[in-house]
Structure 1
Amino acid sequence: MAILAHCGRECIGDVLVWYTDDEPAPTELGYSPLALDELAGIVRGLPESSAENASSRLSLAGTQNKIGLAHNPNLDFEHGWLRPKGLAATTHLLKTSYLRDLSEIEYLCMSAAAGCGIAVARTHLLALPTPTLAVERFDRNANVVGGVLRVERRHQEDLAQALSLTPGSKYAELPGGSAASIARLIRSKSVRPARDLAQFARTLLFCYAIGNCDAHLKNYSIILEASKRDGEPLIALTPVYDLVSTTRYPRFSRELAMAIGGVRAIDDVDPAALTNLANDLGITKAALQKIARDILDNAAGAIGAAGDGAYGPVFDSTPYVADDLVEEMGPRLEVLDTFCIG
């Protein structure tokens, strides 16, 4: 709690934390312009980004180096960056990594997911000295009113929280299977259960296709809606985030964070496991086959298009990263193809 009190004025969701004798004044709110060279200095390395987060009292979890900033939605991504002051909320997370090509891989995976009909957090590659990915926050609503940026925080919680699990249990397979448990939560609590269940199923198959073995319970989130059922607020799945091909890195485990049809090793997933997944989700095999066909028809092409700059500016190296990513997906796309015709 002491750490949160010092680094909890800008958390995930709409939570603010401070000592009772250090309650911030309502006037502690606003933004200061941030030039591109200043931004480059902030993302240069871990000491610089840590100092920036400490000064803004920002609390962000995760393995990648992250910085929270705001951006004026009326300007392009070479301009309009803002440093929050006091209680002002951020609108974007800027992510860097020591892993080679990770920013580009995440950008390609997120862009391809959108091309496969998955609602995703919007991302942009920034041409800074350190390869940087800017991710728009889905737990913020940002508008410019009278020339002033106004940002509203929105409540969200990841599925580990929603299912009453500690962060240390984010890789745990829930009794009866995590996919089945999440499907039940969606059916009972979602304001749009059919849409959210389709989004979840599509994301599971897409993560399998790209080789994302790290799609754990904290990589899926819900947001509270105003509607209620039996006096309790309803939920909706948030846009998807943190989509990365982990199989591109030999050092990482090839065990799936969430089993597919009872199978944890990504190389052991076969058409029978995908049939079991349909049963776990409570949908027909034909419905899951249609989703798999959409991914087969669109994923590789969308990765290639993103690498060629179809969705936004990219680096000179991005087309080659895209080619490697598509090639590595090949065996899993063959499994999806067999499942579709079986």
Structure 2
Amino acid sequence: MRGSASLVPARVRELQVLLFGRRAGTLTLAGQRLGFRYCAEWLAQPDAMALSLSLPLQAQPFDDHQARPFFAGLLAQVTARNDFARLAHPGSECAGAVRFLGAGQELPAAQAHAVRWLGDAEVLDLLEDRPMRGGTQTLRRALAGAPDRLPVVFDGARIGLPLGGTPSSHFLRAALPGVEHGVANAAFCTALAQVMGLRPAQTQFHAVQGRPFLLVERYDRVVDAAGRPQRLHQEDFCQALGVSPETRYQHQGGPGLAPCFDLLRRAARPARPQLLRLFDDAVFNALIGNHAAHTGSFSLLYAGKETILAPFDTFWSAAVHPALAPKMALAIGSQYDFSRLQARDWERFADGTGFSREHSRSRILELAESLPLAARRLHSAAGRVYSGNAVAERIVALITQRCALTRGLLG
């Protein structure tokens, strides 16, 4: 009789999927399997937009294999074990302009920047992942999305929780457990990226009761002419490529850098400026030891009628922390160990970008020659959280070593 259980229809749960506040389709969960279908009203609009490049506009439904990469990436691994209806929590804030409604729910009435402002003790509760004072749930459990990025509103002085459908403006990011000076690490590497002319997400260092954290400005949020915050749509490269977040690391079977360049070449217009930015981001990540940068670390931002490479969020050096994985998530050529790179690996990297080997070599050398001096100057700057910091000092040493190795291979 054990086999007869498979004959019992799985309970089907549904969520209405909204894009820019309008119903775009229906997400279903039957057992462990997801499904998605655009609604006819959405498809009938002349300006209808697809949720993802991997979910093109069509009347036919998408099965679990097709739907899971986008929604699992958006909702932090949807399964039957984590209450499906929780994803439609009225306060949920996802990446981009997607929102969800459960059965019988309606969008909260529009409110003018409704925010519950928090005191220092409540902010500390968020950082410690403790039940908030006066409540029974932590923000990490109440909101959909990645567990290490907490969506909040920041007005330049106060931190608060968005209410009534108000878009968040920032992500609050604490240090990873067991990673010494992780916040200073990210602050230093992000500032270095700005010095080098890259476009990281705008990041500020803060501390409450001695606990450091970062506030990262959301690039998928804008303020309209009336001063109201609005959502922009975005998706990461795993979602756009139809790759499940479980395989976002190349050495786990996920895509490498070449498919990322191919995707951006197809999606962005004009493509060349965006491809140059992706090139610099990839080389910079390798030189600073950002081994955690994977396919899902890059995103497409749909800004009006333009599709561009989103600002990178957030640069940091994993290589200076011995306890973390020594492998790069994305290989250079066919090599995951930076210390074993050969000139041919950089040539294969260049071939995958679509740029000529000579152009690639010139730009890599330009970055490798200017980066060590920029890092030393930034580390010695007074009044910064990373000024004289031991981890930042190790990052400078690692950058100096890696840049020298690169110049020796390509110079």
Query: Do they superpose with TM above 0.5?
Result: yes
Please say if residues 156 and 221 of structure 1, whose CA atoms lie closer than 8 Å, have aligned partners that are also in contact: yes
| C-alpha RMSD of the superposition | 2.8
One-letter code of the match for 2:145?
L
Which among 338, 358, 368 is matched to residue 266 of structure 1? 338
In structure 2, how many angstroms separate the alpha carbons of the residues matched to 1:92 and 1:134? 6
Which among 276, 282, 286 is matched to residue 204 of structure 1? 282
Paired residues for 1:50-199 under 5 Å: 51-53=137-139, 57-62=142-147, 64=148, 66-72=149-155, 75=156, 79-97=157-175, 98=177, 99-128=179-208, 129-142=210-223, 145=226, 150-172=228-250, 178-199=256-277
Match of 2:35 in 1: none
Cα separation, partners in 2 of 1:297 and 1:34, compared to 1, 3 Å: farther
One-letter code of the match for 1:332?
R
Which among 324, 329, 333 is matched to residue 394 of structure 2? 324
In structure 2, how many angstroms separate the alpha carbons of the residues matched to 1:122 and 1:319? 21
One-letter code of the match for 2:212?
P
Offset of residue 194 of structure 1: 0.8
Match of 1:230 in 2: none
In structure 1, how many angstroms separate the alpha carbons of the residues matched to 2:212 and 2:106? 37
Which among 352, 355, 359 is matched to residue 287 of structure 1? 359
Cα separation, partners in 2 of 1:309 and 1:138, compared to 1, 3 Å: farther
Cα separation, partners in 2 of 1:318 and 1:95, compared to 1, 3 Å: farther
Flag structure 1 segments of 5+ consecutive residues without an equivalent.
228-233
One-letter code of the match for 1:69?
V
One-letter code of the match for 1:60?
G
Deviating more after overlay: 317-326 vs 159-168: 317-326
Cα displacement string for residues 209-263 of structure 1 (whole angstroms, at most 9, x for unaligned residues): 1111111111000012444xxxxxx621101112221111112222221111121
Cα separation, partners in 2 of 1:317 and 1:82, compared to 1, 3 Å: same
Aligned length: 322
Higher RCO, 1 vs 2 (CA within 8 Å, ≥6 residues apart): 1
Paired residues for 1:30-41 under 5 Å: 30-32=113-115, 34=117, 37-38=120-121, 40-41=123-124
Please say if residues 116 and 294 of structure 1, whose CA atoms lie closer than 8 Å, have aligned partners that are also in contact: no
In structure 2, how many angstroms separate the alpha carbons of the residues matched to 1:125 and 1:199? 25
Cα displacement string for residues 49-105 of structure 1 (whole angstroms, at most 9, x for unaligned residues): 7945269x422215x3x3221122xx4xxx143331121111111111222111111
Paired-residue identity, %: 22
One-letter code of the match for 1:195?
P
Please say if residues 271 and 338 of structure 1, whose CA atoms lie closer than 8 Å, have aligned partners that are also in contact: no
Please say if residues 221 and 230 of structure 2, whose CA atoms lie closer than 8 Å, have aligned partners that are also in contact: yes
Cα separation, partners in 2 of 1:307 and 1:68, compared to 1, 3 Å: farther
In structure 1, how many angstroms separate the alpha carbons of the residues matched to 2:223 and 2:160? 13
Please say if residues 121 and 136 of structure 1, whose CA atoms lie closer than 8 Å, have aligned partners that are also in contact: yes
Cα displacement string for residues 147-172 of structure 1 (whole angstroms, at most 9, x for unaligned residues): xx521111100000010111111113
Deviating more after overlay: 261-270 vs 165-174: 165-174
Which has more radius of gyration?
A: 2
Offset of residue 15 of structure 1: 1.0
Instruction: Name the SS of the counterpart of 1:20 in structure 2.
Output: coil
Offset of residue 106 of structure 1: 0.8
Please say if residues 220 and 240 of structure 1, whose CA atoms lie closer than 8 Å, have aligned partners that are also in contact: yes
Match of 2:10 in 1: none
Offset of residue 37 of structure 1: 2.4
Cα displacement string for residues 317-339 of structure 1 (whole angstroms, at most 9, x for unaligned residues): 65433222111223311222124
Cα displacement string for residues 175-210 of structure 1 (whole angstroms, at most 9, x for unaligned residues): 996222122222222112111111111111111111
One-letter code of the match for 1:110?
T
In structure 2, how many angstroms separate the alpha carbons of the residues matched to 1:8 and 1:40? 17
Please say if residues 332 and 346 of structure 2, whose CA atoms lie closer than 8 Å, have aligned partners that are also in contact: yes
Which among 112, 128, 144 is matched to residue 45 of structure 1? 128
Cα separation, partners in 2 of 1:13 and 1:270, compared to 1, 3 Å: same
Match of 1:17 in 2: 100
TM-score normalized by the length of structure 2: 0.71
Match of 1:231 in 2: none
Paired residues for 1:193-272 under 5 Å: 193-227=271-305, 235-272=307-344
Please say if residues 262 and 273 of structure 1, whose CA atoms lie closer than 8 Å, have aligned partners that are also in contact: yes
Cα displacement string for residues 28-56 of structure 1 (whole angstroms, at most 9, x for unaligned residues): 5633363662564344411157945269x
